[in-house]
């Protein structure tokens, strides 16, 4: 599985989804628990194992996840667990050792199902670009298939029951990872974030809470999961994302009108640095990759400039992930100190972005 990750042409990182220039990815996850087994935080090791077995038995029979890998977290070393985290396939809480933790990952990485995280099941579908409809179709089918095999904890009053009350109801969280460099540059982002919080949407960075604005990414998701249908929640999120997208487009247009030369300069400098640096930390690299991505959207650079044979967005998107610490160590097949990582990161960026 891990070997495939780096060559995965079909992953949500391929940049071929709709409006992938501004909406990096769309994601929906559902929280589900098995009726009669306590939530993982309260379950005994045996009970967690019971949930794990149910998951393992069922996933083979569900055609929507055919060909997926079933991986017990305990069977992975720390590096591989971090790879899963960096690829957005598991959450940070799933990293700690613990009985019965597992993850089911589809071949193209679009589907992942965490077992015995906060809930017995955390199903996730993630796709390239702005396509919550596709996420919903896929995850709804998976949910239905699993439901036929496993009795999910459900109350006719409240809906799906979950370990944390914020997830009760639909158990759904839908989100879009947006790339908003122009709104950040023009400082209009702050008002937008404020407004989003006020109307009950949550924002995070590329790698979860506390990584706000890293690489100019913001993940926007619904806060409420109760009192509305899944479709309504998705519609609301789509409305918000569309609005933010419009604002980003306006800000980009304004920048291009007023500061075209400066933008071109920034984009080419970013490429020049990434192609020549010998040491670079993750934060700086993300920042230059963000500028490259913007340059691609604005037509300042193209696939020929990046020498990447027609897949410039896939190249940049993959690099956002592959320059992270665990990926670097996986590529080098050894543990690396911070300074060594900065050196390997520079090597990889140079190699991947360099002209033949």
Report the interface residues with its own copies, using CB under 8 A: 261-262, 264-265, 268-269, 271-280, 339, 343, 346
Nearer to its own copies among residue 72 and residue 347 (C-beta) = 347
CB of 281 to its own copies, least distance (A): 11
d(CA 39, CA 34): 8
* Shortest CB 277 distance to its own copies, Å: 5
CA distance 45 to 356: 54
Nearest approach in angstroms of CB 268 to its own copies is 4
CB of 6 to its own copies, least distance (A): 25
Which residues touch 325 (CB under 8 Å, ≥6 apart)? 82, 86, 282, 336, 341
Query: Closest Cα to residue 219, out of 191, 235, 233, 240?
Result: 240
Beta carbon of residue 152, minimum distance to its own copies (angstroms, whole number): 54
Nearer to its own copies, 138 or 267 (CB): 267
The CA distance from 291 to 216, in Å, is 9
Least distance to its own copies, CB of residue 182, Å: 18
CB 29 within 8 A of CB 160: no
What length does the chain have? Answer: 356
Yes or no: say if 325 and 282 are a contact pair by the CB < 8 Å rule. yes
| Nearer residue to its own copies within complex by CB, 1 or 279 | 279
Q: Let me know: does 344 contact 39? Beta carbons within 8 Å.
A: no
Instruction: Supply the angle between the helices 132-149 and 45-59 in degrees, to the nearest 10.
Output: 110
Residue spans of alpha helices (H) in the chain: 2-5, 45-59, 78-86, 132-149, 181-185, 189-198, 230-276, 282-297, 303-306, 312-322, 325-332, 338-353
Spatial neighbors of 309 by CB under 8 A, at least 6 apart, are: 303
Minimum Å distance from CB 64 to its own copies? Answer: 46
Rank residues 163 and 348 by Cβ distance to its own copies and give the closer one: 348
């Amino acid at each position: 599985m891990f070997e495939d990750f780096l060559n995965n042409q079909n992953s949500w990182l391929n940049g071929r989804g709709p409006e992938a220039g501004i909406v990096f990815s769309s994601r929906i996850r559902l929280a589900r628990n098995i009726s009669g087994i306590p939530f993982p935080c309260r379950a005994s090791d045996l009970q967690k194992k019971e949930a794990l077995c149910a998951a393992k038995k069922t996933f083979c029979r569900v055609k929507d996840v055919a060909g997926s890998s079933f991986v017990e977290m305990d069977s992975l070393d720390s590096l591989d667990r971090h790879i899963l985290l960096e690829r957005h396939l598991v959450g940070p809480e799933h990293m700690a050792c613990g009985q019965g933790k597992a993850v089911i990952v589809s071949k193209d990485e679009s589907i992942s199902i965490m077992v015995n995280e906060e809930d017995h099941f955390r199903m996730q579908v993630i796709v390239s670009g702005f396509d919550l409809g596709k996420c919903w179709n896929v995850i709804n089918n998976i949910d239905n298939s699993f439901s036929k095999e496993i009795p999910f904890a459900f109350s006719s009053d409240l809906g799906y029951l979950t370990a944390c009350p914020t997830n009760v109801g639909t158990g759904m969280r839908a989100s879009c990872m947006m790339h908003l460099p122009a709104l950040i540059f023009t400082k209009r982002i702050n008002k937008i974030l404020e407004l989003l919080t006020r109307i009950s949407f949550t924002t995070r960075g590329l790698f979860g809470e506390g990584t706000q604005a890293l690489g100019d990414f913001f993940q926007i998701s619904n806060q409420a999961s109760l009192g509305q249908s899944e479709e309504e929640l998705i519609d609301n999120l789509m409305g918000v994302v569309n609005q933010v997208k419009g604002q980003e487009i306006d800000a980009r247009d304004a920048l291009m009108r007023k500061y075209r030369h400066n933008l071109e300069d920034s984009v080419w400098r970013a490429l020049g640095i990434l192609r020549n640096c010998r040491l670079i930390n993750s934060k700086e690299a993300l920042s230059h990759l963000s500028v490259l991505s913007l340059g691609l959207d604005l037509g300042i650079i193209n696939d020929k400039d990046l020498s990447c044979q027609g897949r410039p967005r896939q190249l940049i998107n993959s690099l956002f992930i592959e320059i992270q610490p665990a990926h670097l160590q996986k590529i080098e097949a050894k543990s690396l100190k911070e300074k060594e990582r900065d050196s390997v990161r520079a090597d990889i960026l140079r190699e991947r972005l360099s002209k033949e």
